Chains A and B, each alone.
Chain A
Amino acid sequence: DAKTTQPPSMDCAEGRAANLPCNHSTISGNEYVYWYRQIHSQGPQYIIHGLKNNETNEMASLIITEDRKSSTLILPHATLRDTAVYYCIVRVLGTNAGKSTFGDGTTLTVKP
C-alpha cells in the first residue's frame, strides 16, 4: 500500500470550511483514497473514499488531483464536534480491505 503524508495538525474556525490535505505521490492506478477520523480515542469512523473522481456525501467532500498524487478532504462547515484526528490511507480494493496502516493523521482542532 502506498504511503501517505499529512500535516500533523491544523486549526479551523467554527463554521468555516476545513481543508485537510494528503499527499500520496506513490499511489498506483488501482488504489483508492480513504478518509477516516478518530474523535478522542473513540473507534475510527469512515468518512469518504474515492478513486479519481471527486466525491461528496453528507459528511464531507473529497477532491482528488488529476494526477492522483494528492487529495483534500473538505468539511464544508466545521463544528466543534469535528475536532478529531483525520487519517488518509490508500489501498487496493480486494480481499484484505483493512490491512492499511493509518499513520499519525492530522489533528484538526475546530475553534469557536
Chain B
Amino acid sequence: NAGVMQNPRHLVRRRGQEARLRCSPMKGHSHVYWYRQLPEEGLKFMVYLQKENIIDESGMPKERFSAEFPKEGPSILRIQQVVRGDSAAYFCASSARGTNTGELFFGEGSRLTVL
C-alpha cells in the first residue's frame, strides 16, 4: 500500500511565477490536509479537503493560494505570483474516510524555493 505521494519534491520558481504542488493520498483515503513549514518552525495548517470539497481553509492566505481535490486525480496546492516568503516545505497528509482516530499519514513534502 503506497504511502502519501507528493511531487515535485523540490521546486524552484522565480518571483511572480506559479507553483503547483501535487498530493496523492493513500489508497482508500478521501481526506487531504495541506501544511506549510517555514525553516526552523513547526507545521502550520493550511487547508482540509475532501473529494471535490474544501472543508476548512482557515489557514490559507487570502490571496494567491488555492487548493483543490478533484473527483479524479491528486490534490493540488496552487500558489500564484510567488514571493520569496513562500519558500517553505509544503506537506500533505491524508486520513481515511470516516475515521475518528485522527491518525494522519504524511507525505515527504515539497520544498519550494523562490528566487
Interface residues, chain A, with chain B CB atoms under 8 Å away? 32, 34, 36, 38, 41-46, 49, 87, 91, 93-105
Complex Cα gap A99–B56 (Å): 8
Are A104 and B102 within 8 A (Cβ)? Answer: no
How would you classify the secondary structure of chain A's contact residues: helix, strand, loop or mixed? loop
Q: Which single member of B58, B89, B102 contacts A97 (CB below 8 Å)?
A: B102
Query: Shortest distance in angstroms between B54's beta carbon and chain A's nearest beta carbon?
Result: 12
Q: Which single member of B48, B102, B106, B107 contacts A49 (CB below 8 Å)?
A: B102
Complex Cα gap A98–B50 (Å): 12
Would A46 and B109 be within 8 Å (CB), given that A96-B55, A102-B43, A104-B42 are in contact? no
Query: Shortest distance in angstroms between A26's beta carbon and chain B's nearest beta carbon?
Result: 18
Are B42 and A49 within 8 A (Cβ)? Answer: no
Are B45 and A101 within 8 A (Cβ)? Answer: yes
B95 within 8 A of A: yes
Q: Which residues of B contact A100 (CB under 8 A)?
A: 45
